[in-house]
Amino acid sequence: GGTSAAARNIISGNTSTQLVSLGKAVIEGNYIGPLKNGSLGPAATYGVGLYSNDNVVGGIGSSSTNLIAGNQTGVAVVSTLLGIPLGNSILNNQIYANTLAAIDLAADTDFNFIPDADLGLNTNDAGDGDTGSNYYLNSAVITSASYVGSAVSVEFNLDVADSVTGLYKVEFFANDSASENGGKTYLGFASTTAGAHSSGGTLMAPDGYDLAGKYLTTTVTQITNEGEAIFSSTSEFSSPFLLTV
């Protein structure tokens, strides 16, 4: 893929996994699941299956956005007998309408491309000391979200372990329904620190986009600033929270 329409791959029609990485890949600007006309193709087990370290799905700018929809699981970061994949960042994508999970930090001990543990939203643990795919990074818990004009005021709780920089990026998304399962429309991000604490921020809705009645979700990503790797492991999506007007 790439950051221009000419570089876009349209990957659809598979029933196992649309795209697999066993190395170190940058996956950006693609349609993974939808057909060329935007309709959804057959539901693959995984839209993207990551079995190795330091893959990047999406990126910082909107031109890096992948559209990942219509699969059973949008992006799966999967530990196997080959090892536990770490440092996989999933940023600024449109991941929605996947029937089981948008992002799944999972295990597949028999390597049959079907998770045998942790399918769906993992349970946050105090101090975030557990181990597994992408460290089973805790997700944020949204505690309030209100919509006034074109601005969204949001508060959330987060309990994450210390990292290289002690910093984390929290991305926010809007969804049409609580069952949409992921992040359909990117709203922006807030930076926060390690530890157990509350935080918040103000986000702006895209021009012409009405957020009334939408459901807010988040992902959390470690900030590393190590060489070319600005970001590291990303969490699963949070539970949806209804925006109030």
pLDDT tens readout for residues 145-190: 988 777 889 999 999 998 888 899 999 999 999 988 799 999 999 9
3-state secondary structure of 126: helix
**In sequence order, which residues have a C-beta less than 8 Å from that of residue 142 and are 6 or more positions away?**
154, 155, 156, 216, 217, 218, 238, 239, 241
> Residue 215: what pLDDT?
94
Strand ranges for the chain from DSSP E? 10-11, 17-21, 26-27, 31-32, 46-50, 56-58, 67-69, 73-79, 89-91, 94-96, 101-107, 141-148, 151-160, 167-175, 185-193, 195-204, 215-226, 229-234, 241-242
Average pLDDT, the chain: 88
Of 19-23, 74-78, 96-100, 122-126, least confident by mean pLDDT is 19-23
> Residue 156: what pLDDT?
96
Is pLDDT larger for residue 237 or for residue 34?
237
Rounded Cα–Cα distance for residues 102 and 238 (Å): 10
Q: Which two tokens mark 170?
A: 């929290």
> Residue 223: what pLDDT?
93
Q: In 3D, which of 137, 231, 240, 245 has the Cα closest to residue 183?
A: 240
> Residue 227: what pLDDT?
58
Percent of the chain at pLDDT > 90 equals 54
Is pLDDT larger for residue 239 or for residue 225?
239
Residue 115 predicted with pLDDT over 70? no
Name residue, tokens 């598979």.
Answer: 14
Rounded Cα–Cα distance for residues 97 and 234 (Å): 20
* Reported confidence tier of residue 37, pLDDT bands at 50, 70, 90: confident
Which sign does the torsion angle of CA 232, 237, 239, 240 carry? positive
Tell me the residue type at 139. S
Rounded Cα–Cα distance for residues 83 and 69 (Å): 27
* Reported confidence tier of residue 120, pLDDT bands at 50, 70, 90: low
Is pLDDT larger for residue 42 or for residue 87?
87
